């Protein structure tokens, strides 16, 4: 305990250690938060199921992009009559007939046009469908008919794809035309600021029949990290990607360094055939290419992140590190205290684990910490070359999607920069912490 306190005090002298620890703690907290708040299966569903992202735009930038003084992009707006009953008015015409009026009203003061406009209608009826007409009213009083006719139980009106409306607006996409100032120059539509209205006038033909409407104005900015080409909120992937990233990095680092260390010590201590066998296996392993083997396993067997992790650890066991550790252990084996231990009867296991390995731990721990990010990067690399886990959302898979959809060519920098910066921050955190540890454990490195 005393040792731990003095160690902590020593570590506090290095600001980089604090910064690194804060970063690591942040990522761990993020991973823990995602673990506690949302179970894994739900996360997967959130990422994969279509229904959860019906209200998200495609390829929207993060909302904080609007913080730039010259940027004023529309946000997503969802108006649902089921959630806001006050927007709905009934008027009884007869016992059977009801007039249903839904009016959505919103201010539009953005400098750009929305990504998309959708209206989802739902109705309840026994045998006779209710009827509804939908109108769009601009701030300057112009009005356009969006739809006219019977309402199905589930019906979506993709306003942007209404051919007639497009023609009516002068061959301009409705998402632009509906918001454009008619006075703006040809070809450079300007947004007409003001209050817009979507009016739905319906008639039901049965006593219990009803209509609900959900209007979604998809923004050009959405969520903390934007959205991808299939409306998924990238923030979800970034949050849930923390877990596999850290797990992969730490488990791979532990799995490979610890076993490597033990094997090197065992080889050096027992010498002879044991050592020779370990050395030969290591040498064979050193010339085996890891990536092609991973591609093979991924193609022929499974791309699960845990299978990949297993292969990485398997290859890490007899890694080149054995050579380095062996050189250290060869010196340690000849130290007087080990001879003393033999003289008072310490057994092989005790000598290896209690006398040889603790001696190299000070040099090992920092390199262990600094090697973690390289495994985090490996996971991202695997995802980039199409070996990402098919189910789990990971940082690497976000990057892969961005790459496959030409995010950088299309100016969707956020799609690449956010997961990359998380990867970089992970690397930075572990590196800064590891280098500080190195200086604490190996005082010779201290700058004076």
User: Tokens 């923390």, residue?
Assistant: 242
| Nearer to another protein among residue 153 and residue 354 (C-beta) | 354
8 A C-beta contact, residue 191 and residue 201: no
Interface with another protein, residue 347, by CB under 8 A: yes
The distance between the two most distant Cα atoms of the chain, rounded to a whole number of Å, is 106
Interface with another protein, residue 342, by CB under 8 A: yes
Interface with another protein, residue 341, by CB under 8 A: yes
What are phi and psi for residue 140, nearest 5 degrees?
Answer: -90, 15
Judged by CB under 8 A, the stretch of 69-77, 284-292, 344-352, 381-389 that binds another protein is 344-352
| Nearer to another protein among residue 92 and residue 339 (C-beta) | 339
**CA 114 to centroid of chain Cα atoms:** 25
Contact with another protein (CB under 8 A): which of 35, 359, 374, 413?
359
Contact with another protein (CB under 8 A): which of 327, 339, 353, 385?
339
Per-residue interface string for the shown chain with another protein, residues 285-324, x marking contact by CB under 8 A? ----------------------------------------
Contact with another protein (CB under 8 A): which of 2, 41, 94, 127?
2
Q: How many CA atoms lie within 13 A of 330 on its CB side?
A: 8
Within 8 A by CB and 6+ apart from 308, the residues are 248, 294, 297, 298, 379, 382, 387, 389
Q: How far is the CB of 336 from another protein (least distance, A)?
A: 4
Judged by CB under 8 A, the stretch of 24-32, 253-261, 356-364, 394-402 that binds another protein is 356-364
Q: How far is the CB of 371 from another protein (least distance, A)?
A: 22
Interface with another protein, residue 443, by CB under 8 A: no
| Nearer to another protein among residue 311 and residue 356 (C-beta) | 356
Tokens of 280: 């030969």
Q: How far is the CB of 269 from another protein (least distance, A)?
A: 14
Angstrom CA distances, 340 to 129, 248, 271, 353, 409, stand at 94, 41, 19, 16, 67
Contact with another protein (CB under 8 A): which of 12, 337, 385, 386?
337
How far apart (Å, rounded) are the C-alpha atoms in residues 9 and 255? 29
Judged by CB under 8 A, the stretch of 11-19, 127-135, 229-237, 347-355 that binds another protein is 347-355
Per-residue interface string for the shown chain with another protein, residues 386-425, x marking contact by CB under 8 A? ----------------------------------------
Task: Characterize 210-223 residue by residue with b for buried, 16 or more Cβ atoms within 10 angstroms of its Cβ, and e for exposed.
Answer: bbbbbbbbbbbbbb
Contact with another protein (CB under 8 A): which of 15, 358, 390, 406?
358
Comparing CA positions, the residue from 63, 160, 157 lying closest to residue 110 is 63
126 DSSP assignment: S
| Concatenated DSSP letters of 55-116 | TPPSSPBPGGGGGSTT--PPBPEEEETTT-GGGEEEEE-SSS-EEEEEEEEEEE--SS--SE
Interface with another protein, residue 4, by CB under 8 A: no
Q: How far is the CB of 362 from another protein (least distance, A)?
A: 8
Interface with another protein, residue 353, by CB under 8 A: no
Interface with another protein, residue 355, by CB under 8 A: yes
Interface with another protein, residue 343, by CB under 8 A: yes
8 A C-beta contact, residue 427 and residue 370: no
Q: How far is the CB of 409 from another protein (least distance, A)?
A: 56
Residues in contact with another protein by the rule CB under 8 A: 2, 335-337, 339-347, 350, 354-355, 358-359, 361
């Amino acid at each position: 305990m005393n040792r731990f306190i003095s160690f902590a005090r020593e570590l506090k002298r290095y600001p980089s250690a604090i910064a690194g620890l804060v970063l690591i703690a942040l990522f761990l907290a993020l991973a823990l938060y995602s673990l506690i708040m949302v179970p894994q299966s739900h996360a997967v569903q959130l990422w994969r199921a279509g229904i959860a992202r019906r209200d998200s735009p495609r390829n929207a930038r993060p909302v904080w992009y609007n913080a730039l003084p010259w940027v004023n992009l529309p946000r997503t707006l969802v108006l649902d009559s089921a959630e806001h009953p006050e927007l709905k008015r009934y008027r009884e015409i007869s016992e059977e007939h009801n007039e249903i009026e839904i009016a959505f009203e919103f201010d539009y003061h953005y400098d750009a046009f929305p990504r998309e406009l959708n209206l989802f209608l739902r109705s309840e009826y026994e045998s006779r469908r209710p009827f509804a007409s939908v109108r769009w009213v601009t701030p300057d009083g112009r009005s356009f008919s969006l739809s006219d006719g019977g309402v199905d139980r589930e019906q979506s009106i993709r306003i942007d794809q209404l051919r007639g409306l497009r023609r009516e607006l002068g061959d301009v996409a409705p998402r632009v035309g509906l918001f454009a100032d008619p006075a703006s120059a040809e070809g450079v539509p300007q947004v007409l600021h003001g209050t817009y209205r979507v009016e739905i006038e319906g008639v039901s033909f049965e006593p219990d029949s009803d209509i609900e409407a959900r209007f979604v104005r998809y923004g050009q900015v959405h969520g903390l990290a934007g959205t991808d080409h299939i409306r998924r909120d990238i923030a979800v992937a970034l949050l849930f990607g923390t877990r596999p990233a850290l797990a992969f990095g730490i488990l791979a680092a532990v799995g490979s360094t610890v076993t490597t260390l033990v094997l090197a010590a065992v080889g050096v201590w027992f010498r002879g055939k044991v050592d020779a066998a370990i050395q030969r296996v290591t040498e064979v392993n050193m010339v085996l290419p890891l990536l092609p083997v991973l591609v093979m396993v991924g193609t022929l067997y499974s791309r699960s992140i845990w299978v990949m992790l297993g292969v990485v650890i398997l290859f890490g066991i007899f890694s080149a590190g054995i050579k380095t550790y062996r050189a250290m252990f060869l010196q340690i084996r000849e130290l007087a205290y080990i001879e003393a231990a033999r003289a008072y009867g310490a057994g092989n296991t005790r000598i290896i684990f209690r006398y040889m390995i603790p001696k190299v731990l000070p040099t090992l721990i920092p390199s262990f910490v600094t090697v973690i990010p390289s495994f985090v990067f490996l996971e991202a690399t695997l995802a980039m070359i199409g070996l990402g886990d098919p189910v789990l959302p990971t940082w690497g898979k976000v990057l892969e999607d961005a790459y496959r959809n030409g995010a950088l060519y299309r100016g969707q920098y956020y799609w690449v920069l956010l997961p990359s910066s998380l990867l970089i921050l992970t690397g930075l955190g572990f590196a800064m912490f590891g280098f500080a540890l190195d200086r604490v454990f190996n005082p010779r490195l201290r700058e004076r």
